[in-house]
Amino acid sequence: MDWVFLSELAINGALTGLLYSLFAIGLVLIYKASSVPNLAQGGLTMVGAYVVLALARDVGLPLWLAIPLAAVVMFGLGFGIERVALRRLAGRPVVMILMLTLGLDIFLRGTTLAIWGGTSRSMELGVSYDPLFLGDIFISRIHLVGAGVALALFVAFMLFFRTRTGIKLRAIADDYMASWSVGIAVERGVGLSWALASVVAVAAGVIWGEIQGVDQALSLLLLKGLTVAVLGGLDSILGAVIAGIILGVVENVGADFLDPLVGGGSRELIVAAVLILTVMIRPHGLFGRHDIERV
Amino acid sequence: MQEKVEAQNILSMNSVEVLYDNVMLAIKGVSVQVPKGEMIALLGSNGAGKSTTLKAISGLLKAERGRISRGEITFQGTDITEALAQKRVEMGICHVIEGRRVFEHLTPDENLTAAAPRGMSRSTLNAEKEKIYGYFPRLAERKNSQAGYLSGGEQQMLAIGRALVTQPRLLMLDEPSLGLAPFLVEEIFGILQKINKDEGLSVLLVEQNALAALEIVSQGYLIENGRVVMHGTAEALKSNSDIQEFYLGGGETDFHNVKHYSRRKRWLS
Q: Interface of chain B against chain A, CB under 8 Å? A: 58, 60, 63, 85-86, 89-90, 94-97, 101-106, 110-111, 113-118, 146, 148-149, 162-163, 165-166
Q: Which residues of A touch B166 (CB under 8 A)?
A: 182-183
Residue B260 has pLDDT above 70, yes or no: no
Q: Is residue A293 part of a domain?
A: no
B1 alpha-carbon distance from chain centroid: 29
Question: Is residue A175 included in any domain, yes or no?
Answer: yes
Q: Which among B33, B21, B37, B81 is positioned nearest to B231, based on CA atoms? A: B33
Q: Which residues have CB under 8 Å from B143's CB, separation 6+?
A: B107, B108, B109, B133
Instruction: Record the pTM.
Output: 0.89
Give the pLDDT confidence of B23-48 residue by residue, as tens digits.
Answer: 889 999 999 999 999 999 999 888 89
Q: What is the pLDDT of residues B117-131, one digit of tens each?
A: 999 999 999 999 999
Nearest to B101 among A91, A168, A178 (CB): A178
Mean pLDDT, rounded, of chain B = 90
Domain of A9?
3-281
Classify residue A292: in a domain, yes or no: no
User: Which residue stretches of chain A have pLDDT < 70?
Assistant: 1, 291-295
H/E segment holding residue A3 = helix A3-34
CA of A289: how far to CAs of A55, A130, A173, B152, in Å? 40, 43, 11, 20
Helices (H), A117-140: none
Note whether B63 contacts A177, CB cutoff 8 Å: yes
What CATH class has B2-101+168-268? alpha beta
Report yes or no on A50 lying in a domain. yes
| CATH number of A256's domain | 1.10.3470
Q: What is the mean pLDDT of residues B131-155?
A: 95
As a whole-number percent, the residues of chain B with pLDDT over 70 amount to: 91
Using the predicted structure, report yes or no on whether residue B255 has a pLDDT greater than 80. no
Report, as an integer, the average pLDDT of B167-172.
97
Residue A295: its pLDDT value, please? 45
**A290 in a domain, yes or no?**
no
Q: Within chain A, what is the greatest distance between any pair of CA atoms?
A: 63
Tell me the average pLDDT across B184-207: 95
As a whole number, mean pLDDT of residues B79-96 equals 96
Which of A164, A167, A183 is nearest residue B86 as measured by Cβ atoms? A183
Q: What is the pLDDT of residue A129?
A: 81
Q: What is the pLDDT of residue A293?
A: 57
pLDDT of residue B1 exceeding 50, the answer is no
Taking the C-alpha atoms of residue A137 and residue A142, their distance in angstroms, rounded to an integer, is 15
Look at chain A and report how many structural domains it folds into. 1
User: What's the pLDDT at A33?
Assistant: 86
Mean pLDDT of B178-192: 93
Is there a contact between B202 and B170 (Cβ–Cβ < 8 Å)? yes
**Of B105, B113, B149, which is closest to A174 when you measure between CB atoms?**
B105
CA of residue B112 relative to chain centroid, distance: 19
Chain centre distance of CA A51: 17
A90: three-class secondary structure by DSSP? coil
pLDDT at B249: 66
